[in-house]
Structure 1
């Protein structure tokens, strides 16, 4: 993965300290138990020796959130054949998010894992991951407002992915157009009613 890209995410098992009824007892300290896998004590020790950590918290949207980011370049435990599928792999990252809703007091813990070509700088990687999701969330909001994406019920086969790709292509064309002074939703509506407007958006360089 190029250095300018954000880390790539995947999900996997990761053990939490448990309290009554298997619920998380407390948020771990940075680096505590996040990379632990049952039956691999050598991995635990090696990963913690090469571990970069960052612990951040904030309050927003009616909740308190704490994010623990851990990164390591101790990758000897990954099978050589699997490493070949990830050229340039340099670090493994774990982001553990602890959230508590202010009104209900409900608590949740989520762990996400990333593979990256970046060095294991937990603070920097945490920033890149947050920037990536900020862009994704903003794009989703625009797609929902402009194309009512959340109401799409296509589920069969690859229909959902294909339609999502087409919506993003259309969104890109609408944003690139500077000849029509209107909102994205307004441009789309006008293009549906007037073929000359549609042609202007689809073929911006075509002479009239």
Structure 2
């Protein structure tokens, strides 16, 4: 896929494609800084020269830093989304979770610059990152969501968002892409929230409950016992406050009763959702559970396996582009489903074994 060289023509010593490919390979192999990327390039010069021209030799760490600091980050993110569409086959009714994450080490006190916040989309079944958009802080997620959704191909999928994305304009954009939504409903939608809480209390929580749960299960592990109950209520026509929501079909109520053994303490949490899905109740409730995969399988992996929060890249553009390099590396490694080693193990294998890195780059085709 073509990407315009951001540097001045005629004043460059290295091809842009060489810089990009070396950076991606290095991050796959475990590189965490620009210096790491340059070291990887020097140690793998003979192998890299089998498919890259390496005009002007190998780039220095300053070259990598400068190039990824002047790339148009919006264009880079757009090209990333197009690459994902080209390399990964869509799955019908896959749950696409969208959530934000702060790159905690990207702050700069001297420049009075806070850490950068990323809004990402994650395909929970395939375990791949679909795209990202950067915002100044968590409160600006609403502005980034429509732009991110425009870059995605979510036809036939279920898109899940937390309360920040529970907006009618967001719901309409998802419906316009021929997808469905499940949105967490909280106090930021005051009238809707109160109406739904009152209705659910009367029909589901009050004793005796008028409606039996669609899901009722116990989980006894990790020193705690949890009872989870879920109701999918196709009763939108009974609540005037919900009439303006596009294609809204169901209210979903999830009740979590948690007992921690060593504390002898029991708590109860109620969570409310708006859903446009026409799927069976168990599928919609399962979609809510799958939303948390973006925390466990993307954000946690970026922090622990790729050490994203420890990164001290402070330039805002470089922070965004390095974050995208990590997601690109994650997608490439995750695509190799035949290798049963952990992500960390596969990354080490790629760093040690050039044949395996070649397999990831060139022969790890669509299934």
TM interval, short-chain normalised: 0.5 to 0.7
State the match for 1:170 in structure 2.
329
Contact preservation (8 Å) 1:52, 1:71: no
Contact 1:90 1:119 in 2 (8 A): yes
Aligned to 1:78: 241
C-alpha displacement of 1:73: 1.7
Which of 58, 83, 90 aligns to 2:249? It is 90
Structure 1 CA distance, aligned partners of 2:273 and 2:156? 14
Relative to structure 1, is the Cα distance of residues 203 and 75 closer, same or farther in structure 2, using a 3 angstrom cutoff?
same
Task: Give, in whole Å, the separation in 2 of the partners of 1:138 and 1:101.
Answer: 25
- 1:130 counterpart = 2:292: no
Match of 1:55 in 2: 216
2:358 aligned to which of 197, 200, 206: 200
Contact 2:351–2:357 (8 Å) recurs in 1: no
**Residue in 2 that maps onto 1:12:** 186
CA distance in 1, matches of 2:259, 2:339: 45
CA contact (8 A) 1:91 1:118 kept: yes
- 1:117 is displaced (CA, Å) by 2.8
Q: 1:187 to 1:10 in 2, by over 3 A?
A: same
Bigger relative CO (Cα 8 Å, ≥ 6 apart): 2
> Which residue matches 1:17?
none
Query: What per-residue deviation string (whole Å, max 9, x for no partner) do you get for residues 41-75 of structure 1?
Result: xx569966995623322211110111121221221
The whole-number CA distance in structure 2 between the counterparts of 1:56 and 1:66 is: 6
1:105 alignment partner, one of 244, 260, 264: 264
Is 1:67 matched with 2:223?
no
Gaps of 5+ in 2: 1-153, 161-181, 188-194
8 Å contact 1:143–1:149 — kept in the other structure?
yes
Any residues of structure 2 matched to 1:141-180 within 5 Å, and which?
Answer: 142-149=301-308, 151=310, 166-176=325-335
What runs of 5+ residues in structure 1 fail to find an aligned partner?
Answer: 14-33, 38-42
Contact 2:229-2:255 within 8 A present in 1 as well: yes
Residues in 1 aligned to 2:286 and 2:316: alpha-carbon distance in whole angstroms: 35
Task: Pick closer, same or farther for the CA change 1:55–1:187 going to 2, 3 Å.
Answer: closer
